[in-house]
A and B are shown apart, each in its own frame.
Chain A
Amino acid sequence: GAVVSQHPSRVICKSGTSVKIECRSLDFQATTMFWYRQFPKQSLMLMATSNEGSKATYEQGVEKDKFLINHASLTLSTLTVTSAHPEDSSFYICSATGLAGGRETQYFGPGTRLLVL
C-alpha cells in the first residue's frame, strides 16, 4: 500500500516552454501533497505544500507564478514549471501524506528529472 506515482519520469524541453508533472496517490487518498526539488548530491528542498481544493502554500524564495500547483482531487496534484529555463533543470519529487500508526506519514513518488535545453 501507500504507492505514489509521478509522470513523466523524465522530460527534456526547450527553454521557454512549460512542463507539467503529475503526482498521484494510487491506493489511498492524500489530504496533503508536497513538492520538493533536489539538486545533485544534495538533500530535498521543500517547494510547496498542496491541499486539495485550496491554494498551495509556497516556501520562502519559491516563485509561485513560476511553479504552478493544482491539487484537483485527493489523489492528484500537478506541478507546472512555466517558461522553463536551464536553471530549472532538476529532480522534482512529490510526496503524499497518508495515515500510518496514527500519524500522517509522507510517501514519496519516484521523481521526475527535468532537463531544460
Chain B
Amino acid sequence: AQSVTQPDIHITVSEGASLELRCNYSYGATPYLFWYVQSPGQGLQLLLKYFSGDTLVQGIKGFEAEFKRSQSSFNLRKPSVHWSDAAEYFCAVDTGTASKLTFGTGTRLQVTL
C-alpha cells in the first residue's frame, strides 16, 4: 500500500533563511506527487505537483520541489523564507485510484523574525 512520510513534525527557521521540507513516499508505480500548504483555519492550497518530465518543479510563492526516484523523495525547498510562509505543509501522493490522495502527517513551519 502507498504511504507518505514527512519526518519533521515541526521546523523553525529564521526569516530570510533557506528551507527544505522532507517527504518520502512508498508507491509501486510512477508516483504523482503534490505539495499543499494550509494556513490556520483554512483549506489546502496547491503549491506544486509532479506528474512526469523534469524532476525539478516550480510552484507558487517561490517554492520548488525535486523528485528523486532513487531516494523515493519529493522534498520542498525555498531559498529565502518569508514570515507569511508560516503554515502547515502537506505532501501527498496520488494513489492512481480515482485520483485519491494519500497525505503525509504534515510539517508545521514556524518563521522567526
A interface residues with partner B (beta carbon < 8 Å): 4, 6, 32, 34, 41-44, 46, 49, 57, 91, 93, 95, 97, 100-111, 113
Pick 29 A–B contacts, CB within 8 A, sort by A.
A4-B43, A6-B43, A32-B98, A34-B100, A42-B106, A43-B103, A44-B90, A46-B100, A46-B101, A57-B98, A93-B44, A100-B49, A102-B51, A103-B32, A103-B51, A103-B94, A104-B99, A105-B49, A106-B34, A106-B46, A106-B99, A107-B46, A108-B36, A108-B44, A108-B45, A108-B46, A109-B43, A111-B41, A111-B42
Give which listed residue, A43, A101, A110, contacts B42 with CB less than 8 A: A110
Given contact pairs A108-B44, A111-B43, A113-B41, A43 touches B99 in the complex (Cβ within 8 A):
no
Of all chain A residues, which has the CB nearest B45?
A: A108
**SS class of chain A's interface: helix, strand, loop or mixed?**
strand
Closest to A103 in B: B51
- Chain B residues near A (Cβ < 8 Å): 32, 34, 36, 41-46, 49, 51, 90, 94, 98-101, 103-106, 108
Residues of B close to A105: CB separation below 8 A: 34, 46, 49, 99
Please give me the residue from chain B that is nearest to A94 by CB atom.
B43
CA distance A99 to B34 in the complex (A): 14
Q: Which 4 A-B pairs have the closest CB atoms?
A: A108-B44, A108-B43, A110-B43, A104-B99
Which residues of the other chain, B, contact A93 by a CB distance below 8 angstroms? Answer: 43-44
Cβ–Cβ contact B43 & A43, under 8 A: no
Q: Specify which chain B residues have a CB less than 8 angstroms from the CB of A34 in the assembled complex.
A: 100-101
For the complex, what is the distance from the CA of A18 to the CA of B40, rounded to whole Å? 26
Check if A43 sits within 8 Å of B104, measured CB to CB. Answer: yes
A4 neighbours in B (Cβ, 8 Å): 43
Closest CB-CB distance, A6 to chain B, in whole Å? 7
